[in-house]
Chain A
Amino acid sequence: MKNKSQKPERLLGTILLLLSFMTTNLFAQPVTPIKGESFLLNAVYYSNIDLLFVFNKEYQQALNSGLVFDIDLDFVIVNVRKRRFDREIGKLSQKYTLKYNAFTQRYTILNVNTGGVISHASLVSASQYLGDIRNLPTIDDSLINIEENYQVFLQVSTKAQGVPRWIRALRRNNLNFVTDWIQWPLFD
C-alpha cells in the first residue's frame, strides 16, 4: 500500500523535475529571433531584424572572465516554388564578436563584416544594440523575379571562442547556442 501511494508522488516529482529542467533551458537561451522584415531601396533589398538577447549570469560571468563570444546571423534567401523543390537564391552571414574589456570596463562589439567597433558601458545596452539590426543589405534586386515567391530565413548562433569541445561537453551550459530558423517574405 505504501509503495502504491508513493508512486504518483514520485511520478509528479519526476515530471516537475523534467519541467523545471526544460524551462531552465528555455529561459537560458541567450538569443531569440523576434521578427524580420525586408524592403526594397535603390535596387537592393534591405532587412530590419529584431532579436532579443538575454545573457544570463553564466554568460555574463563568462564574458567578464575574458571569454569572447561569436554571434553569427546566417541568412538564406529561398525561392519558394509550387510543385517543385525550393531554390536557394543567396546566402549571407553577418558576424559579430562580443567581448568585455576589463581595463575600460566596457563591452566591445566588433562587426566582423565591416570592421566597425562600438563599445557599451553595460551588457544590457550591448544586447540592445545587437538585437536592433537596421537596413542590412540582404540581396540585389537583379537576382529576384517579382512574379515569384521569396522567403528570407534567419538563424542566429552564439559561440564561445577558444573553449575546446571536450571542455564544453563537461559544462552544464556549454555556452554555444543555435536558434531555430525564422522566416519572413522578401516582399509582399
Chain B
Amino acid sequence: MATIRLKKIPAKAIMLSLILLSALSLVALMVASDSPDAFNRLQTPLLLVNTVSFFVLFILVLVSGRKLVRDYKKSKLGAKLRLRMTLAFGGLAIVPAVVVFVFATNFMNKGIDVWFDAEVEQGLSNALTLGRTALEEKIQQGLFKTTNIALALTGTDQLDKRLNELRNDSLALELVVLNNELQVIGASTKRLGNLGSRLPSKVEMNQAITKQSWASLDSSVEGEYLIRVLVPILGFSSNETPLYLHSLFSVDPNLSRMADSVEETYARYGRLTFLKTPLQYSYIFTLALVVIVGFIARHLWINRICRATSQAH
C-alpha cells in the first residue's frame, strides 16, 4: 500500500506541475508575443517545456489507457462503464479542440497574410523608387559639378591647393585625383580620416574608362547618403598615365534621413516576408502543441472522473 502511494504521489505531482508549467508558459507566450524580441527569446524554452509536457502527459495517457483496456478484458467491475465514459467524454473533447485549432490557424494565417498584402509591398517599392528618382537629380548635379572641376584642373603643380579651392567652391566633401592603378596623386577632404575608405574600386574605374563617367549613390554606417562620382581628367596626365577625379558629395540631411527611414522600413518588411512561412509554421506548431497538451490534460482528468464514478457505482 505504501509503495503504491509513493508511486502515485510523484506521478500526480509531476502531472500537475507540468500542466501548471504549460499553462504558465502559454501565458508567458501570450505576453511575449507583443514584443518580437521577447517572443524570439522565449519561444525556444517555451516550446521545449510544452514538448516535454506533451511527451510526459502522452505517456501517462497511454499507461492509463492500457490499464483501462486490461481491466475491460479482465471484465473487472465498472471497467466497461469507465471505458465507455472515457471514450464518450474523450470524443466530446476532441471535437471542440480540433474546431478551435482549425479556426485559430485559419484566422492567424489570414491575419499574417493581411500584413503581407501585395499592395503594401508595391507601396513600399514605389516609395523607394520615388526616393531614388529624387536623388537621381542630385547625382546628375554631382556629375555635372565633377566634370566642371575636372575641366578646371590644368596640371599637377600645387594640385592639393587647387583641389582645396575647387572643393570649397563646389561644396564637395572630398576630391581625389587618382591614376588608373588607384594611386592617389592629389586630394582634398573636408572630413579627416575618411580618405581612402571611399576610394573607387577597379570595377568602378573600368566603368569610368568605358563610359567616361561613373556615378553612384552610397550610404555610410550612420545612415548618411553620399554621392560618388568618378570622371577622367582630360586636360593633363601624369607621366602619360591617364588621371581620374573622384568626388564625394553629401545629400541633404533631411533627405538622407527620409531615405534611410524608407530603406529601413523596406528592409524590415523584406525580412518579415522572407521569414513569413517559417513564422506561420512556428505559430501553427505552438498552437498545435497547446491544443494537444490541453486535450491530453483534459483526457487525464476525464479518466480520473470516470474512475471515481465507476468506483462509486
Contact = CB atoms under 8 A, between A and B. Distances in A.
B197 A116 contact: yes
Interface in B215-236: 216-221, 225
Given A121-B216, A167-B275, 18 more contacts: A62-B274, A65-B270, A66-B271, A67-B271, A102-B128, A103-B128, A103-B260, A103-B262, A104-B216, A104-B225, A106-B216, A108-B219, A117-B197, A120-B201, A120-B203, A121-B204, A167-B278, A170-B281
Nearest to B135: A103
Contacts of A117: 197, 220-221
A163 interface: yes
A168 to B, nearest CB: 8
B107 to A, nearest CB: 21
B274 A67 contact: yes
B218 A119 contact: yes
A101 interface: yes
Interface of A: 61-62, 64-67, 101-104, 106, 108, 110, 115-121, 125, 129, 162-167, 170-171
A103 B225 contact: yes
B263 interface: yes
Nearest 7 CB-CB pairings of A with B? A66-B267, A66-B270, A65-B270, A65-B274, A170-B278, A164-B40, A103-B263
Given A164-B40, A166-B44, A101 B282 contact: no
A117 B40 CA distance: 30
Nearest to A66: B267
Contacts of B225: 103-104
Contacts of B270: 64-67, 102
Interface string B192-203: 000001000101
Contacts of B218: 104, 106, 119
A170 B44 CA distance: 12
Contacts of A104: 216-219, 225
Contacts of A171: 278
Contacts of A165: 44
A70 to B, nearest CB: 15
B310 interface: no
Contacts of A163: 275
A7 to B, nearest CB: 35
Interface string B248-264: 00000000000110110
B203 A103 contact: no
A65 B282 CA distance: 20
B219 A118 contact: no
A165 B263 CA distance: 26
14 contacts: A66-B268, A66-B271, A67-B271, A103-B262, A104-B225, A117-B197, A117-B221, A119-B218, A121-B203, A121-B216, A164-B43, A165-B44, A166-B44, A166-B282
Contacts of A102: 128, 263, 266-267, 270
A65 B273 CA distance: 8
Contact of B263 (A101, A119, A121, A167): A101
